[in-house]
Structure 1
Amino acid sequence: MDDVVIVGAGPTGLWLAGELRLGGATVTVLESRTERDPHSKALTIHPRTIEVLDSRGVAAAFLAEGVRIPSGHFGGLPDRMDFAVLDTPHPYTLALPQARTEELLEIRARDLGATVRRGCRVTGLTGDGVELATGEVVAARYVAGCDGVRSTVRAAAGIDFPGTEAGTWGWLGDVVLDAPPERSAASIAGPHGAVMAVPLGGGVTRLVGSDPSCDGPGWPGELTLDELRATVRRIAGTDFGMRDPVWLSRFGNATRQAAEYRRGRVLLAGDAAHQHFPAGGVGMNVGIQDAHNLGWKLAAVVTGRAGEDLLDTYHQERHPVGAILLEHTRAQTALMTGWTPEGQALRAVLSRLIATVPEMSRQLAERLSGLDVTYPSGRRVPDLSFPDGTTLFQRLRTGEHVRTEVGLVRPDGHLG
């Protein structure tokens, strides 16, 4: 019997697996897909997540491959937030396809001794683990549901997932452009909709956006290339010569949060715990940060270094973070879908404030980047320098507490 079985081999589950192994727990990750999904929902790694990677000594590979972007947008507003003002050694986001992020995180988890099993569809919980579609029971003391918004683990545990249904739909297309925008990354918004163009490499560009025709309840149907071409032409005045789609998809603004992040021996993290419109590209980042908070605690409990009540602090600390996440993504969604003259005026006013009120821009940047998260037990600690030439992030790489001049720093980089 393992200490923990993790359901879901996305970024959240894989980071949790590595953290558990770092803390001495035995862990098996179960993934229903037989192969890694080649289509990358997420492209953005935010500053706090880069700090998390740095504090475990694995940031170098991400920094070597990702494209550094020194600013960020709030709700697709034209004036961007300057990340240079942030108190971090990584004042930028990294553009890196999720498929590659998952590959790097799986390498780390396996190197640390985690077992990753693919083609294993979990159908429910048992008294001592989870049951697969084949009838096999995988035994474990704890179960971590990192299996997305349609979480089997959450449903089997009877944890409520209250919220609102989708009323706005976005779309994306990974396509080849014969006449791409002059700038490597472009954003166009107006009363007819909004579209961003992001190069993915290999001659493929992601076009992502929304438009008024997508508003309303009910699934609008599968996206076609002809529909995407017509929509982008209506918004941008050109379809950029799009052809040869690699992936076409839609996504909605359904917004939900698990009522409990822990129920007994079942814990939830990532999209299994919170669902929202992908405004600002924060979803994957918050999931990894959930796992970073949970990993050291669950490892300490299963190895006998801490009492089980430590697990209660996971919900106490991360549930409020998820609630704020939902609030901010809802606000950004309202701005991104402000098609009316009033909505366009609101966008213009807030965009000018971001450009002219540094404190407002900084606070929004801290929220988007994940650097402003504070728990009841203590705040995030920046990368302190020590007299021997080492830094806090270097000392945290063992996954143990670190004593500093500002207090005892937990393995996740917060005071406590």
Structure 2
Amino acid sequence: MFPVPGWVWFWPGDGVGVVGGAGAGVVVVGGGPVGLLVACELAAFGVRVLVVEARGSVSRRPRATTLHARSVQSLVRRGYLDGAAGVGAGGGNGGFHFAGMPGLTISVPVGEPVAVLKCEQEVLERSLEERARAAGVVVLRGHRVSGVCEVARGVRVSAVGPGGRAVEWVAEYVVGADGARGVVRELAGFDSRSYPATVSAMAGDARLEEPGALVAGWHRTPRGWVVVKDVAGGGVRLRTLNCEGAPGARGAPLSLEEFRGEVSRIVGREVGMGSPRWLSRFSDFSRLACCYRKGRVLLAGDAAHVHFPIGGQGLSTGVLDALNLGWKLALTVRGSAGEGLLDTYDRERRPAAQRVIDHTRAQLALMRPDAQLDPLRALFGELLAAAPEGGVLASMVSGQDTVLPARGADSSPWEGSFLANVPLVTGEGRTDVIGLLAAGRPLLLLLGAGTGAGAGAYEAQARGWAGVLRVVRAEPVPGLPYEAVLVRPDGYIGWAAGGGGLAPALRAYFGEGEGAEVRDAPSGAVS
């Protein structure tokens, strides 16, 4: 292991040395998709980033595969996904479910990416790591963090590397993105609210002895659920749900014989299987950190929130955490953030995670194989059938119903909503919202009256933040009822004409200005 340029290194017992550069940036603990996405966002703003990951390589174990609409929309606005999301198609997915019941149609406006993107977590993780390294992020694998402690110069992070060698770094901030079983949350002293497990679940890939013995889909019986998905090579991916109680041995290895027995018990007949690729246990244990920030330590992804994996919302929730946190932390490190900007990360993302926990618990309640719940399931089935374009349930599952809290009582009614990807005509030609946000900088978009005499007034107010803010004039857009709008890098409206003044909003987000500069994000995208 070699020293990383630009970092303060402590070799226990060997003294202290500064290797290249001056000062330190951010240590991200956890090299999964959330941690790597935070690192990419920070690096795009020119922040020095070190990612510390316990695993020696990207795990090939099947994990999350679903990115929902709002996470896809936000990723595309930041230049990720490289066309894989089908921008411009609009329309509904037509194949999702709610509590195992088919018929949930998730719709998005025309001009947006696909409503549901199927993407293996392994593929996403590899792509993000490649992009992070290309942007200058240092990714250290095989290093297990053992200590996190705030010190005078920032936060000291201790770890044990390959061969058992101890090493420490000092960073300005630390982001704990090390998953549900990560250590940063406990080492930094974060309190959490937990919901105990009430059900037992299993998952794994196997090959059926009798091909076609289990049909792909969601299958409910009086004894529980079996979810079947065909996988490459002629095998199947199976998940079981037993609602009779929490698992008795959460950490015990799961054998093929036990897994086969559980599948057979639920379906009510013997199901032979072999050649297991991986087997695991899980439950509906849920947890939410009581805050996402303690001083210079922040949490993101499963380190901050855990819920029952129904509806494929875990990865999307973590992605939205990363995209919310990245630009705010970057501006804070660079000295270009307004007072309290970093604290808005907790205020905006923790309620969203609580909502996901609540409605996944509600879905699980509908899945319990109790005959007395049949009328309720029938009612929800009718609701799904009556909303062919998605409706409330689809907006909730996809994250498209999220509206961020307004900054104050004088905020415009549009503040906190997500700006749709409308086509735009500027002095440089035709573009759209996605195209203007790809550079990664906050955007002040002047529309309608804002392109005339009023434009000069807005531009004059924004001049002090020219190093951070991109200002673009565009022709009026039907359906957008304001003449000027401030768009955050994550796609949400930070201010719109019709509420308080522009200058106070800019000051709240980006401080006093004073010539601070943020470069455009590098070109390139995650595929």
TM over 0.5: yes
Per-residue Cα deviation, 1:55-112 (whole angstroms, up to 9, x for no partner): 1222236449xxx9543211112x3211236566234322222111211111121122
Task: Look up the match of 2:490.
Answer: 412
Task: Look up the match of 2:523.
Answer: none
The alpha carbon displacement at 1:5 in A equals 0.3
The alpha carbon displacement at 1:308 in A equals 4.9
The alpha carbon displacement at 1:234 in A equals 3.7
2:36, 2:258 → 1: CA distance?
A: 36
1:379, 1:92 → 2: CA distance?
A: 18
Q: Is this contact kept in 1: 2:85–2:113, CA < 8 A?
A: no
Higher gyration radius (CA): 2
Change (3 A) 1:93 1:258: same
Moved more, 84-93 or 52-61: 84-93
- 2:142 counterpart of 1:116: no
- 2:294 counterpart of 1:216: no
Change (3 A) 1:396 1:164: same
Task: Look up the match of 1:132.
Answer: 159
The alpha carbon displacement at 1:116 in A equals 0.7
Letter in 2 for 1:16: V
Task: Look up the match of 1:179.
Answer: 211
Q: Is this contact kept in 1: 2:77–2:434, CA < 8 A?
A: yes
Moved more, 217-226 or 131-140: 217-226
Matching residue within 367, 376, 379 for 1:349: 379
- 2:310 counterpart of 1:297: no
TM-score (norm 2): 0.73
Matching residue within 369, 373, 379 for 2:398: 369
Task: Look up the match of 1:12.
Answer: 34
Q: Is this contact kept in 2: 1:71–1:92, CA < 8 A?
A: no
Gap runs ≥5 in structure 2:
1-6, 8-23, 87-91, 407-415, 448-481, 495-527
Matching residue within 61, 78, 98 for 1:74: 98
The alpha carbon displacement at 1:23 in A equals 1.5
Change (3 A) 1:73 1:142: same
Matching residue within 395, 401, 404 for 2:436: 395
Q: Is this contact kept in 2: 1:166–1:218, CA < 8 A?
A: no
Matching residue within 245, 249, 253 for 2:284: 253
SS for the counterpart of 2:352 is helix
Structure with greater helix percent? 1
After superposition, residues 296-335 of structure 1 pair within 5 angstroms as 296-335=327-366
Change (3 A) 1:88 1:248: farther
Letter in 1 for 2:423: S
Matching residue within 309, 313, 336 for 1:278: 309
Letter in 2 for 1:389: R
SS for the counterpart of 2:107 is helix
Structure with the larger RCO, 1 or 2 (CA within 8 Å, 6+ apart): 1
- 2:422 counterpart of 1:384: yes
- 2:220 counterpart of 1:201: no
Task: Look up the match of 1:3.
Answer: 25
Aligned residues: 408
SS for the counterpart of 1:29 is strand
Give the fraction of aligned pairs with identical amino acids, expressed as a percent: 39
1:353, 1:228 → 2: CA distance?
A: 35
Task: Look up the match of 1:190.
Answer: 221
Q: Is this contact kept in 1: 2:220–2:369, CA < 8 A?
A: no
Change (3 A) 1:326 1:396: same
1:60, 1:29 → 2: CA distance?
A: 23
2:301, 2:276 → 1: CA distance?
A: 29
RMSD across aligned positions (CA):
2.3
The alpha carbon displacement at 1:238 in A equals 6.1
Per-residue Cα deviation, 1:132-183 (whole angstroms, up to 9, x for no partner): 1233112210000001123311111111012122121211111234524797
Per-residue Cα deviation, 1:193-244 (whole angstroms, up to 9, x for no partner): 112222343434311130245x236436433222322333344456765321
1:189, 1:57 → 2: CA distance?
A: 41
1:226, 1:352 → 2: CA distance?
A: 39
Task: Look up the match of 2:182.
Answer: 151
- 2:116 counterpart of 1:93: yes
